Amino acid sequence: MVLQLRVYVPEHPLVKHWLAVARDQNTPSVLFKTAMTELGRWLTYEAARQWLPTLETSVKTPLAECAATFIDPSVPIAVVPILRAGLALLEGAQSLLPLASTYHLGLARNEETLEVSCYLNKLPASFDPATRVLILEPMLATGGSISMAMAEITGRGVDPTLIRLISVVAAPPALQKLSQNYPSLNIYTAIIDEGLNSGGYIVPGLGDAGDRAFGTY
Ligand code: URA
């Protein structure tokens, strides 16, 4: 069986609207944060299809018994925001996954060499193999950070088919790297952009997502 990376770009007016707000260089930090929260929410909503485990049972309405589907509370759900920028998507994701555990992963890239290093790792020593993992990484540029995150997560026992990755802007170099190394991964992104500039920034992109979310530019 040949597995192929699946990249979903939801055709949804709310996703398009909040992407446009986030892209606009005149959007102030406070509104940029709102846009990222909303993108986190709607992309998580899309990613949850056929991923959240459900439980078939029945309930009694005031009138009769009927079939009912609940989210299965026995299957662990983990959200992994990649710091810093991934934090901006967290509130939206958590609003739909209130029972998920959140494991922070702090990755920084050297702006000259583009090498990635890990400065914070709150992942558990190992995951329950049934765990569903949602990774929050707004900018898929060179693929350096997401590759390190995938290695850290799958190395702790998570099946890549149970991982969903949400990003806001994805670029071909990162998608190619993920396709080679994690062909069964499912990605949900608001847009796929043309490429990178010489500084490793996505063009047209939205600039430095961390700086814009935290007002540090
Ligand atoms: N990280 C960002 O914040 N923006 C980019 O364009 C690329 C990486």
Q: Where are the domains of the chain?
A: 6-52+76-214
Strand, coil or helix: what is 77?
A: strand
Q: 111-115, long-range: CB within 8 Å, 24+ apart, which pairs?
A: 111/199, 111/200, 114/142, 114/144, 114/200, 115/144
Ligand 1 centroid – CA 104 distance (Å) = 19
pLDDT for the residue 191? 98
Q: Give the C-alpha distances (Å, rounded to integers) separating 109 from 118, 119, 123, 141, 202.
A: 9, 10, 19, 11, 14
Ligand 1 centroid – CA 8 distance (Å) = 20
Ligand 1 centroid – CA 2 distance (Å) = 31
Report which protein residue has its CA nearest ligand 1's atom 4.
208
Q: How far apart (Å, rounded) are the C-alpha atoms in residues 87 and 216? A: 15
pTM: 0.96
Residue 196 alpha carbon, nearest atom of ligand 1: 6
Structure tokens at 35: 């846009």
Model pLDDT for residues 49-91, shown as the tens digit of each residue: 999 999 999 999 999 999 999 999 999 999 999 999 999 999 9
Exposure letters 38-58 (e unless 16+ CB within 10 A, then b):
bbbbbbbbbbbeebbeeeeee
Q: Which phi and psi angles does 40 have, rounded to 5°?
A: -60, -40
Q: How confident is the model at residue 42 (pLDDT cuts 50, 70, 90)?
A: very high
| 8 A C-beta contact, residue 48 and residue 54 | no
Going by C-alpha positions, the residue among 117, 172, 163, 118 that lies closest to residue 143 is 172
pLDDT for the residue 109? 86
In DSSP terms, which residues pair with 8 in a beta bridge? Answer: 188
85 lines ligand 1 (CB under 6 A): yes
Q: How far apart (Å, rounded) are the C-alpha atoms in residues 164 and 132? A: 8
Q: Is 137 part of any known ligand binding site?
A: yes
Report CA dihedral (26, 202, 212, 122) to the nearest 10 degrees.
160
What distance separates the 2 farthest-apart alpha carbons in the chain? Answer: 66
Model pLDDT for residues 194-216, shown as the tens digit of each residue: 999 999 999 999 999 999 999 99
Q: Is 23 part of any known ligand binding site?
A: no
Report which protein residue has its CA nearest ligand 1's atom 3.
208
Q: Is 142 part of any known ligand binding site?
A: yes
Model pLDDT for residues 97-145, shown as the tens digit of each residue: 999 999 999 999 888 898 999 999 999 999 999 999 999 999 999 999 9
pLDDT for the residue 152? 98
On whether the 6-52+76-214 domain is CATH 3.40.30.10, my answer is no
Going by C-alpha positions, the residue among 171, 168, 165 that lies closest to residue 185 is 165
C-alpha dihedral sign at 16, 17, 23, 29: negative
Strand, coil or helix: what is 75?
A: coil
Residue type for position 64: A
214 lines ligand 1 (CB under 6 A): no
Q: Is 202 part of any known ligand binding site?
A: yes
**pLDDT of 146 strictly over 60:** yes
**pLDDT of 1 strictly over 60:** no
What is the 8-class DSSP label of residue 173? Answer: H
Residue 208 alpha carbon, nearest atom of ligand 1: 3
Structure tokens at 13: 């007016």
Residue 202 alpha carbon, nearest atom of ligand 1: 6
Report which protein residue has its CA nearest ligand 1's atom 7.
201
Q: Which of 83, 194, 201 to mutate to test the pocket of ligand 1 (most atoms within 8 A of CB)?
A: 201
